[in-house]
Every structure is written in C-alpha cells, then in structure tokens.
Amino acid sequence: MWSVDLQGITIAREFTFADFQQAFEFMTLCAQYAEKMDHHPNWSNSWNKVAVKLTTHSAGALTALDVQLAKAMDAFASQVNQR
C-alpha cells in the first residue's frame, strides 16, 4: 500500500519479492517504464525488498506522473509475484 508523507510531497511503498532475482526483475521493468516516461523513482534494493519514493522534483509536489508510475509499479509487482 502506498503512503503519503506528512507534507504531501512524496508517496512511498516497500515491495517484497520471493528473492533477489524477482526484485531485480521488478526493478528492470520499472526502470524501462520510467525511462520512457522520463520520470524516475527514488529507490533502494536490499535482497528481496525494493523501497520506493515518488515525487516530481521539478514541481516540488506529487503529480499525475507519480500516480501513473505508482500504478505501473503495482502492476509490475503483481506480474513478477505471479511467476
């Protein structure tokens, strides 16, 4: 579930996968999508977990780009977890 920070500037979520390979597959799918959007996440990976924060730096706020990327990430996580 995505959470909004107190200032309403970022949304965050931690995704958990079966192993590192699935986490990396998720990150690869997200990276390819983000590159096409020209909107990149702030994220980190530790073995089977991927922590994500989204914001639109140029706007200093959340925008439709963040929502679009969050929805895509949710879909990619479901896709990877079904394997």
CA distance 19 to 22: 6
The total number of structural domains that make up the chain: 1
- Cα(53)–Cα(79) distance, rounded to whole angstroms? 20
Token pair, residue 54, equals: 């989204």
Distances in Å between the Cα of 68 and the Cα atoms of 27, 47, 55 are 16, 26, 11
Say how far residue 46 (Cα) sits from the centre of its chain.
14
Q: What is the CATH number of the domain that holds 73?
A: 3.30.1360.20
pLDDT at 4: 94
pLDDT (tens digit per residue) in 30-81: 999 999 999 999 999 999 999 999 999 888 899 999 999 999 999 999 999 9
Query: What is the domain range of residue 16?
Result: 3-81
Q: Which of 58, 42, 50, 45 is nearest to 74 (CA)?
A: 50
6-36 pLDDT, tens digit each: 888 999 999 999 999 999 999 999 999 999 9
